Structure 1
Amino acid sequence: MRNGLSLKWVISGSFLCLIAVVLVIYSKLLPEFTVRGLFYTASAMMEEEAQYFLRHYKQDPTTPTPHNYFYTSVIGKEALPQDVRELLNTSPSLSFGAVNIFGDLYSDDDDEPFQIILEQPLGDGKTLYMYDIDHDKEAGGEVQTPLSDAYFDQVIESVKFISLAVFVPALMIIALLVWWLVRPLGRLVQWSGTLKDPDALAGLRPGFSFKEFNMLADALAKSVEQVQAASQREGRLLRYTSHELRTPLAVLKANIELLALQSGGVLPPSLQRIERSVLNMQLIAETLLWMSREHAESLPEEDVNLSEVVGELIEKHRYLIGNRDIELSIDIHDEPCRLPPTACRIVIGNFLRNALQYAEEGAVDISFKYPRLVIANHIREVKPRQESDDYGYGLGLQLMRQLCAKLNWQINVIREQQRFTVVLDFTRVKAGESAV
């Protein structure tokens, strides 16, 4: 695959991106749910202790309030420390289960710890307040738990190992899957490049492991076979037609020359029209014969003065004007151009003949400045366009399109309200582009 992205890289890259996104989401959610798990543990412990105290308080109001290393409790807001009492006047950062949490939960600043507070009504108008204790401010600081911390670090390392254990095998499986899928596809692409050879098309088609690829290969081979058959039929038709036309045209031309000799070199108008038609038919036959060649050789180029060529073609086709009031407006630079002269005469003569034949009364504008030749004829109104007709240009224009495509020239047909313009650009079309 020379252009664009390779399919195997697209598939593998997509899977890798998917795994990366899953791991990122997992790494982001893991701390979040770890914190929530700790909050749940704290909420459950404090709520259970509060309920246990409430049951004994109803039996004996002198029951001492719960107190341990992690939290303590008092009855009544007035008994709370000043900083805890001030927190109750603000909105909690998070309400989780039975507790309210105040402060920044995810701050890395140890000077701004969060506070967990539980409020438990006692049924006699009093309220039990339970809150956690910050031991960092005590003498000696918080008690260290090296054994528990080591166990937690071991759990985190296990989580990292499990993540890698999932990622690496998944990557290997994806690579194998991509190779398994793309390998027959690459073989299919390689085989399809050989279908231009008739021997390869007629040979045995290789298997591509998957039923869908085999069906695609069959459809591709059948399509190429149909296209080749149609191309061969078209080529044979063009060659047979051009060869069969050349013999009667040669006979007509020879007899017209004999009649011209017998009449003193001047033919009557009727025979002049026949002579011009024979010349046009010869040009068309030569064009068809040249276009029908599968590998047409490059036409020899010479220094062509288009001003002289157009002048000769105008005199040759001036009879088409007849009695119509048509004015020719010619603006052609007479600088020589490197072009194939025969092809220039065929193409320009065809366009000029159609312009003079189908122009309404008015002006026919002919201008050339390398590399663009513009021929425009005025019309009264745009007629409805038929499938095989370009306002009278018809088959001639289609033949000229194909001929210019062979020569790598460009044609642009412009239809306006009262104007029909053909632009012929002699600039060579680059490989990979197409003529207009």
Structure 2
Amino acid sequence: MRKGLSLKWVISGCLLLIIAVVLIIYNRLLPVYTMRGFLFTASAMMEEEAQYFARHYQRNPTSPLPDNYFVSSAIGKEALPKNIRDLLDTTPSMVFGAVQFFGDIDSDDEDDGTAILIHPLSDGKTLYIYETDHDHEEGGVIETPLSDAYLEHELSMISMIGLAVFIPALFIIALLVWWVVRPLGRLTQWSTTLESVGAAPNGRPHFIFREFNVLADSLAHSVQQVKAASLREERLLRYTSHELRTPLAVVKANVELLAVQSGGELPPPLQRIERSVLNMQRIAETLLWMSRESPQALPEEALDMRQLLSELIQEHRYLIGKRDIELILHISDEPCRLPLTACRIVVGNFLRNALQYADDGSVEITFEHLQLRIVNRIRDTRQNQESADFGYGLGLELMRQLCAKLGWHIEVVPEKNRFTVTLKFSAQAPQQLPEAKDA
């Protein structure tokens, strides 16, 4: 099962999130600007009333002051009621146009705020127009059910229009996802047909988007390059299987024939040739083993690690030469079931490197709880070399790949004057390795 995010859900989610944010902002701003509309209406009405009175007052100073259900007025501050004079001594909460608002105008109670307009007259006096509070009158505030119902109806219609944006938005999102993501799905489905080695990267679908066509062409070209590299690797494996192992077998057979002719004891030069041929055979076997293609599980069998290490030490003892190296063995007799050939290749590689690059002193080999540890001393001067693996390079990299296929874990710890390699054998069944193709 393929895991990961689906592009169509990502696009849909992002667009829905954008629409939701816009609607939230819209619903937040709607009450604010509705209130601003009411304030503008009140300010315009009071300012128009003041302008109308000032025009008549200039011709006739005895003109009646504006006084109706909504507003009252007075000329001069002393003629104002005490509560209005006290409000004028405070700082207004908002100045909207020509009107000053005192109190909490954002409250749900419509009577918490008071609007006051101050307008100069032609004779130097000042006209004050203020809202009339009818809360304390007999009968209270007059209700306007028809107007309130009309306002509520209009506000509900505005809310319904805002919510109705979701329906076309969902349709647009579905259309966009189908239009953009569907070609991507076709491209993905076509790309899965290229996984087969024998499939040819042709017959790709044509897309209306230029970017998808460019991506499909690049994918087809990459698949061709990978298949060409796979064919070159397959040819190399055939050459390695036949052209390399055959001459190695001939050299080994002739060395054994020389050993028989010389009475069973080869001179040192021929012994070195024999060991080199054996090492080359194992390297070729390792490379072929790691590069097989058809899956085949490696068979496990009961393994005596003490006996295997003794045989490997005997085969590689020549690497010690004239150096004073002591082998310290701590080998547990615990039973284990492991692939014999793979263990021989991996452990032999580590042991060969340890003996070849060890300094005078000791090489410790420990095996317990399905864990092999090899510790050898190294010279301090080797620390200044470019390679940090002190000759383990190619062999160690090959062993890493082989152990990764087998499910084993390698831990390498280069320290100041010693090199430690730890191989942890997995208690589970090893992974499947590919099967060789012999020429």
Q: TM-score scaled to structure 2, two decimals?
A: 0.89
- CA distance in 1 between counterparts of 2:122 and 2:415 reads 94
Residue number in structure 1 paired with 2:219: 220
Q: What SS class does the counterpart of residue 412 from structure 2 fall into? A: strand
Q: What SS class does the counterpart of residue 229 from structure 1 fall into? A: helix
Structure 2 counterpart of 1:190, one-letter code: Q
Distance 1:296 1:146, change over 3 A: closer
- CA distance in 2 between counterparts of 1:373 and 1:86 reads 94
Contact 1:371 1:426 in 2 (8 A): yes
Cα displacement string for residues 248-295 of structure 1 (whole angstroms, at most 9, x for unaligned residues): 222222222223333333333332222222221221122222223212
Q: CA deviation at 1:124?
A: 5.3
Residue number in structure 1 paired with 2:435: none
Contact 2:102 2:114 in 1 (8 A): yes
Residue number in structure 2 paired with 1:282: 281
Residue number in structure 2 paired with 1:399: 398
Residue number in structure 2 paired with 1:368: 367
Cα displacement string for residues 189-210 of structure 1 (whole angstroms, at most 9, x for unaligned residues): 1211121124433441122332
Q: Which moved more, 1:275-284 or 1:355-364?
A: 355-364
Q: What SS class does the counterpart of residue 200 from structure 1 fall into? A: coil
Residue number in structure 2 paired with 1:323: 322
Q: Which moved more, 1:92-101 or 1:261-270?
A: 261-270
Residue number in structure 1 paired with 2:294: 295
Q: CA deviation at 1:296?
A: 4.4
Contact 1:239 1:289 in 2 (8 A): no
Q: CA deviation at 1:384?
A: 3.4
Q: CA deviation at 1:96?
A: 1.3
Residue number in structure 1 paired with 2:437: none
- CA distance in 2 between counterparts of 1:351 and 1:318 reads 13
Q: What SS class does the counterpart of residue 137 from structure 1 fall into? A: coil
Q: What SS class does the counterpart of residue 383 from structure 2 fall into? A: coil
Q: What SS class does the counterpart of residue 322 from structure 1 fall into? A: coil
Contact 1:327 1:364 in 2 (8 A): yes
Structure 1 counterpart of 2:96, one-letter code: F
Residue number in structure 2 paired with 1:47: 47
Q: Which moved more, 1:70-79 or 1:26-35?
A: 70-79
Structure 1 counterpart of 2:34, one-letter code: T
Contact 1:195 1:224 in 2 (8 A): yes
Residue number in structure 2 paired with 1:340: 339
Residue number in structure 2 paired with 1:269: 268
- CA distance in 1 between counterparts of 2:95 and 2:370 reads 80
Cα displacement string for residues 293-324 of structure 1 (whole angstroms, at most 9, x for unaligned residues): 21242211112232332232122212111122
Contact 1:239 1:288 in 2 (8 A): no
- CA distance in 2 between counterparts of 1:371 and 1:87 reads 90
Q: Name which structure has the greater RCO, CA cutoff 8 Å, separation 6+.
A: 2
Structure 1 counterpart of 2:337, one-letter code: R
- CA distance in 2 between counterparts of 1:312 and 1:265 reads 20
- CA distance in 2 between counterparts of 1:354 and 1:236 reads 30
Q: CA deviation at 1:15?
A: 0.6
Residue number in structure 2 paired with 1:248: 247
Residue number in structure 2 paired with 1:7: 7
Contact 1:11 1:178 in 2 (8 A): yes
Q: TM-score scaled to structure 1, two decimals?
A: 0.90
Residue number in structure 1 paired with 2:184: 185
Residue number in structure 1 paired with 2:128: 129
Structure 2 counterpart of 1:45, one-letter code: M
1:359 maps to 2:364: no
Residue number in structure 2 paired with 1:377: 376
- CA distance in 2 between counterparts of 1:401 and 1:338 reads 20
Q: What SS class does the counterpart of residue 68 from structure 1 fall into? A: coil
- CA distance in 1 between counterparts of 2:52 and 2:372 reads 102
Contact 2:408 2:424 in 1 (8 A): yes
Residue number in structure 1 paired with 2:434: none
Contact 2:361 2:377 in 1 (8 A): yes
Q: What SS class does the counterpart of residue 106 from structure 2 fall into? A: coil
Structure 1 counterpart of 2:412, one-letter code: V
- CA distance in 1 between counterparts of 2:194 and 2:342 reads 33
Q: What SS class does the counterpart of residue 200 from structure 2 fall into? A: helix
Cα displacement string for residues 72-100 of structure 1 (whole angstroms, at most 9, x for unaligned residues): 11123332222222222322222211112
Structure 1 counterpart of 2:3, one-letter code: N
Distance 1:136 1:370, change over 3 A: same
- CA distance in 2 between counterparts of 1:228 and 1:407 reads 26
Distance 1:88 1:376, change over 3 A: farther
Gaps of 5+ in 1: 432-436
1:82 maps to 2:77: no
- How big is the alpha-carbon RMSD for the aligned residues of Structure 1 and Structure 2? 2.5
Q: What SS class does the counterpart of residue 311 from structure 1 fall into? A: helix
Q: Which moved more, 1:157-166 or 1:206-215?
A: 157-166
Q: What SS class does the counterpart of residue 90 from structure 1 fall into? A: coil
Structure 1 counterpart of 2:403, one-letter code: C
Distance 1:151 1:425, change over 3 A: same
Contact 2:201 2:220 in 1 (8 A): no
Residue number in structure 1 paired with 2:348: 349
- CA distance in 2 between counterparts of 1:252 and 1:214 reads 56
Gaps of 5+ in 2: 432-439
Contact 2:297 2:430 in 1 (8 A): no
Aligned length, in residue pairs: 428
Contact 2:298 2:430 in 1 (8 A): no
- CA distance in 2 between counterparts of 1:230 and 1:422 reads 33
Q: What SS class does the counterpart of residue 143 from structure 1 fall into? A: coil
Q: What SS class does the counterpart of residue 165 from structure 2 fall into? A: helix
Cα displacement string for residues 11-69 of structure 1 (whole angstroms, at most 9, x for unaligned residues): 01111111111111101100100000110111111122223333333444433322122
Residue number in structure 2 paired with 1:434: none
Within 5 Å, which residues of 2 pair with 1:12-27? 12-27=12-27
1:70 maps to 2:70: yes
